[in-house]
Amino acid sequence: MKLINRIILHISWVLTLLLAAWASLFYFAMVDEINDEVDDSLEFYSEMLITRSLAGRELPSSSSGSNNSYYLREVTSDYADSHPSVAYSDEEIYIPEMEESEPARVLRTIFEDCDGRLFELTVLTPSFEKDDLLETILWCMVWLYLLLLLTILLVNVLVLHRILRPLYALLRWLDSYTVGRANEPLDNDTRVPEFRRLNEAAIRNAARAEYLFDRQKQFIGNASHEMQTPLAVCRNRLEMLVDTTELSEEQMGEIFKVQQTLDYLVRLNRSLLLLSKIEGGQFPECEQVDFNALARRAAADFGELYAARRIRIELREEGALHFRMNPSLAASVVNNLLKNACVHGGEGGEVEVTLTRRSLCVANTATGGPLDGEHIFERFYQGTKKEGSTGLGLSIVDAVCRLYGLHCSYAFVGGRHTFTVDFPQ
């Protein structure tokens, strides 16, 4: 969920709770204020009736046409002891004239006259319907809430979009930033201190990543170059030793094993150097590459190797695949995929190369189960160790694909390892 949406969601919940609490407080405060006013009126009317009764004066009619009415009755001492002397309550009172019950505020007062008799005076006045009031307040609050919520959310969206503009600019810059490439400078001027610190932190981390990348690239390049000479010297000395020295069959076998190890180191060194150059962007030359011709040429080049392992190769051209990129890297992609299919395919198996207008697919018969799709393109990952493999072929393919915006994927379909390179439209 986006940051703005999350903020708006939290604001909505908070506003809902605050407005609900405010509506409840408003309702109870209003009811309490109305009750106070009514109670004062009832108390004044009750005191007037009690004063007249104690003075022996004639009391007004219990239904004098006003809102107030009263009832006076004599009670026992037991009743007086068990009831409060003054009590307010909300009750439903039946009104004969209206033939229905209406809500009323009632005041009951117990007093004693000069003869020691006890009386209960009940004074009441019609009150408002609290349920109707509650419903009215509820609907008012609902419409008020919707209006306030929409207004506040609209204002917050506009304000947040403006405030978070530097953050989105920074995110766009980070998304487009690629280590080792020529990147645009971060143009994100802002007066917000937090965003300025975030920009500075991003620039520092980008500079640190560039520095480490350059050091790594330089180290790999230097190491690969430095290793070429001693490896070549070792191979030449072994060849001279074989040509000029009488060696036993066992010694010749050991020398052959050493030569195999040196050949592996040479291939590994070349692959590492190629990866370093790819990641360093040292292949700027681009031209329209005919992948159909590359696949035919690679199939012919690997013909003897495939024949030695009794692997049948089938080339299916379902469309002409052309893409603008460095021709050497294009050949590297095709050659590494075909070599990977040969090295990791079983003897007597099949390799199927399919080309369409937008994809290159290489599928080979599997000798086991599926490979780990999450790690198959990592350097030196080989699943089960295969002779003649450096573990860098698929890493080179993946590096080239990332360089040109291609997508390389692996799938295990029908007992076959399938590698597909998808080209953009």
Q: Tell me the C-alpha distance between 31 and 242, whole Å.
A: 111
Q: What is the pLDDT of residues 85-125, one digit of tens each?
A: 899 888 877 766 556 677 788 889 998 888 888 988 888 88
* Residues 318 and 356: beta-carbon distance below 8 Å: yes
Both tokens assigned to 184: 């645009």
**CA–CA gap between residue 200 and residue 251 (Å, rounded):** 63
Length of the chain in residues, anyone? 425
What CA–CA distance (Å, rounded) separates 314 from 350? 8
H helices within 245-290, ranges in order? 249-279
Residues 319, 334, 379, 184, CA torsion sign: negative
Helices 193-244 + 249-279 axis angle, to 10:
150
Asked if residues 368 and 344 have their Cβ atoms less than 8 Å apart, the reply is no
**Structural domain boundaries in the chain:** 3-150, 193-279, 287-422
Of the chain, the percentage scoring pLDDT greater than 90 comes to 5
Residue 12 corresponds to which amino acid?
Answer: S
What's the DSSP call for residue 345? Answer: S
CATH number belonging to the domain at 287-422, selected among 3.40.50.970, 3.30.565.10, 3.40.50.300, 2.60.40.680: 3.30.565.10
How far apart CA 198 and CA 166 sit, in angstroms, is 10
The predicted pLDDT at position 65 comes to 47
Q: Are 289 and 325 in contact (CB under 8 A)?
A: yes
> What one-character DSSP code corresponds to residue 58?
P
Alpha carbon distance 38, 126 (integer Å): 9
DSSP string computed for 136-163: HHHHHHHHHHHHHHHHHHHHHHHHHHHH
pLDDT in tens, 189-217: 888 888 888 888 988 998 898 888 778 77
| pLDDT confidence of residue 226 | 72
* Coil/strand/helix, residue 281: coil
3-150 and 193-279 agree in CATH topology: no
Query: b/e per residue, 213-251, with b = 16+ CB within 10 A?
Result: eeeebeebbeebeebeeebeebbeeeeeeeeeeeeeeee
The pLDDT tens digits for 292-312 are 998 999 888 888 888 888 888
Within 8 A by CB and 6+ apart from 60, the residues are 49
Which has the closest alpha carbon to 160: 268, 5, 339?
A: 5
What tokens were used for 393?
């072929």
Other residues' Cβ atoms within 10 Å of the Cβ of residue 266: 17
Q: How confident is the model at residue 421 (pLDDT cuts 50, 70, 90)?
A: very high
Distance of CA 396 to the CA centre of its chain: 31
pLDDT of residue 98: 57
Q: What is the 8-class DSSP label of residue 280?
A: T
**CATH code at 3-150:** 3.30.450
Write the CATH number of the domain with boundaries 193-279. 1.10.287
| Tokens of residue 100, six digits | 């229905």
One-letter amino acid at 206 equals A
| pTM for this prediction | 0.48
Q: What is the per-residue pLDDT for 70? A: 83
The β-bridge relationship of strands 118-126 and 69-75 is antiparallel
Q: Which amino acid is at 353?
A: V
Read off the pLDDT of each residue in 239-257 and give the average, rounded to a whole number. 79
| Calpha distance 359→420 (Å, rounded) | 7
Return the structure tokens found at 276. 């370093």
Mean pLDDT for 22-36 is 78
